[in-house]
Structure 1
């Protein structure tokens, strides 16, 4: 984790963050990022967040709320679209995001979290916060050029 003085502020992404998001992702257009973070109808239940340290956006991620049919089941979030600036990897930003999820959103006490990771990867932060493998994710891709 970062020291308290350099801990990131985590907040919802805004259209004004689009340039920084473009930098983090390395491709795409600024207008597209601005549209995606503000158009809640395009991805109902999804909120995009940024982590900002000393006035600079260092990470971005998305949370999607899942509805539960099972009576009494804890509400569930999916953590996805996690992107860190390459120069901040290994500095504790991921741990700060997980701390924020626990303290601000009740993850681990009031809500369950499903976190997506690339095939063959198990981020050390998952182990630190006690995330266990529970689901397999399968993707139904859309071929390039299909709209």
Structure 2
């Protein structure tokens, strides 16, 4: 498990193991919701110091809540709004060290202090995002971003638009 501390050989091994576990969970399953549910459970088990991990899926011009681990969440987010909507609109990962400083942040859980959102693709287009919140400032690092982007790339192999 990692907490945003310095990158180490042990961390690399742990991350590689999580990616292998994800691959094993999704390789024989074609149901998108099942794969997203297991992916959120896997990250919830692996990541420390987080209070929410899950997915939002594109439905028209809106992101709709998908499988997650944590407290009840916002059900719909307009594309272009908040961290999730911005990440999807721009098709880029958003690593936010202090959500109170992010213009238009949507506070689904007031305990969340930092956040990372990674867009998810299928058939060449953005179909949703991975969203992870933490109850501490500056929880997520660039190393976390690299790992979570790799995690999403593995997951994308099982998804359809």
TM-score (norm 2): 0.27
TM-score (norm 1): 0.29
> Counting helix residues as a fraction of each chain, which structure ranks higher?
2
* Structure of higher RCO (CA pairs closer than 8 Å, 6+ residues apart): 2
